[in-house]
Structure 1
Amino acid sequence: MPATPRTARAINDRLALQLLQREGPLTAAQLKQLTGLSRPSVADLVERLGAAGLIEVVGEAGEQRRGPNAKVYGIVAGLARLAALDVRTEGVAVLVSDLVGGVLAEASAPITDDAGTGPAVEQAVALVEQAAKEAGADRLHTVGIGAPGLIDPATGELRDSGGLPAWHRRLVAAVQERFPESRVTVENETNLAALAEQRDGVARDRDTFVLLWLDLGIGAALVLDGALRRGASGGAGEVGFLPVPGTSGVPSATDCEGGFHSLASASAITALAAEHGVDGVLRAADGTGTRGTAGRATAGSGREPAAPDAPAHAVDLVRAAVQGADPAGARFLDALADRVALGAASVVSVLDPGCVVLGGEIGRAGGPALAARVHRRLARMSPLPTEVRTSALGGGAVLRGALLKARDAAQEDLFGPPVR
């Protein structure tokens, strides 16, 4: 059955909004080219969307030209305020943005291990309130949360996972209670990092790739044919449990010790660096015997922690090895690449993704030096050609991914589902 004029107009309007979401501000001429609509049809939809308060003129294109086609149209950024949270075992980071992703406020705070569940949740929620207030947001339309652990695909809730603080599972409900009019979503942190790399990072030209997350723990995210794959139970990419050679045992259903985690987690990398003498080089270089610049500040404590922050210290060690000329650093990177390639090769042999992105702050610190080493090893271990790339976003990918997910959800709610 042919579409009615009203339905056709609705489809055209949604298509134009979809293009403005994806491409950013456009002229009427660009909308005409991208939609294939006639000039009068584009003029009509621009007028309709403007009258509805969905788009506005945000500038002009061309130095000499004037008139309707010279105007640049964009989505009205102030239609909604969004929040994104990156929830870690040791703290929370939050940002508040407008509907098109312009950051209005940012805040972060550590949450110590000895904080009780109730106080920890209250501290995290108060941080969201603080950022919203700084952004002048009376209401948050959508809140996107990235957290470690498994997300139940049936309920969308964070599942109870061993080794994670109890306040993580309480946080989502507490945010929803404090912002009852908001849509609150939660996603695994590594999946969000992959979304950010796919949209804004090094995987923009790939519809199939694997993100290997190297940070406090180990994880992977799978993007196949343009879609994020979570698995039947939400656990796709739990490569920390992957049995690999070189460990003292095998992992169990409740403990990834003995799996790939034992070879490539932050603590394992720190121990590997010590074996190759890189830890001593770093301590001599910074003159403190503690963590270097990559560590998170201990806000409000007035002192440095007694022991190095594990992920931050591992980042410093990898960065020191990459930047230094010491042979010990090169041997350490070789040994680290051996370990990373073991896990990566298992994923490559099953999925044939064609591209592996080394993510997280450790992956980013390793840079091209580590990526090239892993690539050479994969080429020897697997007949499947696989690029190895370095994350463009590092640990910041989680917060960026949470914002992208919140923005997509809010725009779909305000504009309707995308045109397929």
Structure 2
Amino acid sequence: MAASPSTARAINDRLALRLLQQEGPLTAGQLKQLTGLSRPTVADLVERLTAAGLIAVAGEAGEQRRGPNAKLYGIVADRAHLAALDVRTEGVTVVVSDLVGDVLAEAALPITGDAGTGPAVEQAVALVERTVKEAGADRPHTVGIGAPGLIDPASGELRDSTGLPEWHRRLVAALQERFPQARVSVENETNLAALAEQRDGAARDRDTFVLLWLGHGTGAAVILDGVLRRGASGGTGEIGFLPVPGTSGLPSATDCAGGFHSLVGATAIARLAEEYGVAAEPGTEPPAAGAVRTAVTTAGPASPEARFLDDLADRIAVGVASVVALLDPGHVVLGGEIGQAGGEALAARVRDRLAAMSPLPADVRPSALGGGAVLRGALLTARDQAQDELFGVPGHAARAGADGRPLHPRPRPADPLRGGPHRAADA
């Protein structure tokens, strides 16, 4: 069924804006070529988007031709400022960008466990305020937050979790109160890392994959057919609680000790490194990630560093094999600081062990974004939400999952942003 004229215009406007975001400034002729729309339709949408303040003339095309050069149109980047937060148990990092994703300001603040809930929340909110002002804005249009813990699929709020600071749960409400006109959302850190790897990292060519987060904590994110899966209670990917061989016991409902986390959490990896005499360069990065990086750069045949990596790969492969047996994702990304530090050397070892353990084929790749993936995912989510609102396109709900919360999957290969066939709308 043909779209109504207003819906067709909205779809075409969004298509043009996405192309301008992906490719940078374009001429009307280039927009016509990339969208397949007629010249009058492109002229109308350029006029409409210019009048709305979403695009503006950004220069002229460099090609020499008879008459004046064609105008280049680009997104008005400062139409909105976006804030992204990576919230950890020990502090918070903030990045503020413009509408096209260029970072304008960033800052980090350690928050100690004895700060108290109220002061900790105030410190975090004040950090966001200062960073937004440093970026040249009065307030953020959209705020995306990545945090450890489970997200309630019904309310979209961070659930109360044992072992996590109370100020995490208070932060969202405090930011919404301080910036009442901003749209504030929170997502599990591992899910955001997976979205970032899918958009800009190691899984750009995949619609189905699992990200195994190896950092201070242990987690997994599952993306199937381009859709992030959260589960009935928001707990998809709580792989740290997975009962596995090689631990001293079984996990409980409130403690993942005895689960997969006991084998591959940062503390366990640091302890394993000590057993092999592998040490990180002091002060460069978290000890576990530093030890893995040292082993990768210094390992020789049958060396302690090589044996350490082999032992670590054995441990990781136990959890990966379980995920592959249940989901058959075909692709696993080793994420987090440790996954990035291990690089291809660690991924190859896990890949070899997985091939021997599982009848199901699965590629294993190292993260391309590492610990920065959470912040990148939060920024991408904030940008998507801002653009959905500013670009005003109906049908965004079609990209929501069964729980009704918006999703931000990577465009399919047929999406024009990936260079394939387009889907412009006919009125």
Measure how far apart 1:181 and its partner are.
Answer: 1.1
Give the alignment's TM-score, normalised by structure 1: 0.90
Measure how far apart 1:253 and its partner are.
Answer: 0.7
Structure 1 segment 192-207 matched on structure 2, within 5 A: 192-207=192-207
Residue among 401, 410, 416 paired with 2:377: 401
Residue among 315, 324, 341 paired with 2:298: 324
Measure how far apart 1:209 and its partner are.
Answer: 0.8
Deviations 1:141-194 (A, max 9, x none): 110000000000000000001111111111111111111111100000000001
Measure how far apart 1:27 and its partner are.
Answer: 2.9
Pairing 1:345–2:321 present = yes
- The equivalent residue for 1:292 is 283
Measure how far apart 1:387 and its partner are.
Answer: 0.9
The answer to whether the 8 A contact 2:63-2:69 is kept is no
Deviations 1:300-329 (A, max 9, x none): xxxxxxxxxxxx011110011001145100
The one-letter code of the counterpart of 1:116 is G
Q: Is the alpha carbon distance of 1:62 and 1:165 closer, same or farther for their aligned partners in structure 2, counting shifts above 3 Å?
A: same
Measure how far apart 1:47 and its partner are.
Answer: 1.6
Measure how far apart 1:72 and its partner are.
Answer: 2.9
The answer to whether the 8 A contact 2:212-2:334 is kept is yes
Structure 1 segment 2-401 matched on structure 2, within 5 A: 2-65=2-65, 70-279=70-279, 282=280, 286=281, 291-294=282-285, 312-325=286-299, 327-401=303-377
The answer to whether the 8 A contact 1:196-1:401 is kept is yes
Q: Which sections of structure 2, spanning at least 5 residues, go unmatched?
A: 399-427
Q: Whole-Å Cα distance in 1 between the matches of residues 299 and 135 of structure 2?
A: 46
- Alignment length (residue pairs): 394
The one-letter code of the counterpart of 1:192 is L
Q: Is the alpha carbon distance of 1:233 and 1:23 closer, same or farther for their aligned partners in structure 2, counting shifts above 3 Å?
A: farther
Give the alignment's TM-score, normalised by structure 2: 0.88
Higher relative contact order (CA 8 A, sep 6+): 2
Q: Whole-Å Cα distance in 2 between the matches of residues 353 and 343 of structure 1?
A: 14
Measure how far apart 1:275 and its partner are.
Answer: 1.4
The one-letter code of the counterpart of 1:77 is A
- Give SS of 1:353's match: coil
Measure how far apart 1:113 and its partner are.
Answer: 1.6
Q: Whole-Å Cα distance in 2 between the matches of residues 65 and 355 of structure 1?
A: 49
Q: Whole-Å Cα distance in 1 between the matches of residues 178 and 308 of structure 2?
A: 48
The answer to whether the 8 A contact 2:158-2:169 is kept is yes
The answer to whether the 8 A contact 2:133-2:139 is kept is no
- Give SS of 1:174's match: helix
Q: Whole-Å Cα distance in 1 between the matches of residues 4 and 318 of structure 2?
A: 57
Deviations 1:383-416 (A, max 9, x none): 1111111111111111110000000011101112
The answer to whether the 8 A contact 1:28-1:68 is kept is no
The answer to whether the 8 A contact 1:151-1:187 is kept is yes
- Give SS of 1:115's match: coil
Q: Is the alpha carbon distance of 1:263 and 1:7 closer, same or farther for their aligned partners in structure 2, counting shifts above 3 Å?
A: closer
Q: Is the alpha carbon distance of 1:20 and 1:344 closer, same or farther for their aligned partners in structure 2, counting shifts above 3 Å?
A: same
Measure how far apart 1:51 and its partner are.
Answer: 1.8
The answer to whether the 8 A contact 2:150-2:158 is kept is yes
- Give SS of 2:313's match: helix
Q: Whole-Å Cα distance in 1 between the matches of residues 50 and 289 of structure 2?
A: 48
Measure how far apart 1:67 and its partner are.
Answer: 6.8
Deviates more, 1:223-232 or 1:50-59: 50-59
**Aligned residues: percent identity?**
78
The answer to whether the 8 A contact 2:7-2:394 is kept is no
The answer to whether the 8 A contact 2:82-2:97 is kept is yes
Measure how far apart 1:6 and its partner are.
Answer: 4.4
Q: Whole-Å Cα distance in 2 between the matches of residues 67 and 108 of structure 1?
A: 52
Q: Whole-Å Cα distance in 1 between the matches of residues 357 and 198 of structure 2?
A: 26
The answer to whether the 8 A contact 1:321-1:330 is kept is yes
Measure how far apart 1:292 and its partner are.
Answer: 3.1
- Give SS of 2:115's match: coil
- Give SS of 1:270's match: helix
Measure how far apart 1:7 and its partner are.
Answer: 4.4
Measure how far apart 1:134 and its partner are.
Answer: 0.5
Measure how far apart 1:4 and its partner are.
Answer: 4.9
Q: Whole-Å Cα distance in 2 between the matches of residues 110 and 417 of structure 1?
A: 39
The answer to whether the 8 A contact 2:221-2:236 is kept is yes
- Give SS of 1:278's match: coil
Q: Is the alpha carbon distance of 1:274 and 1:354 closer, same or farther for their aligned partners in structure 2, counting shifts above 3 Å?
A: same
Q: Is the alpha carbon distance of 1:399 and 1:240 closer, same or farther for their aligned partners in structure 2, counting shifts above 3 Å?
A: same
Q: Whole-Å Cα distance in 1 between the matches of residues 139 and 67 of structure 2?
A: 37
Measure how far apart 1:121 and its partner are.
Answer: 0.8
- Give SS of 1:26's match: coil
Measure how far apart 1:42 and its partner are.
Answer: 1.0
Q: Whole-Å Cα distance in 1 between the matches of residues 157 and 146 of structure 2?
A: 12
- Give SS of 1:155's match: coil
Q: Whole-Å Cα distance in 2 between the matches of residues 248 and 68 of structure 1?
A: 76
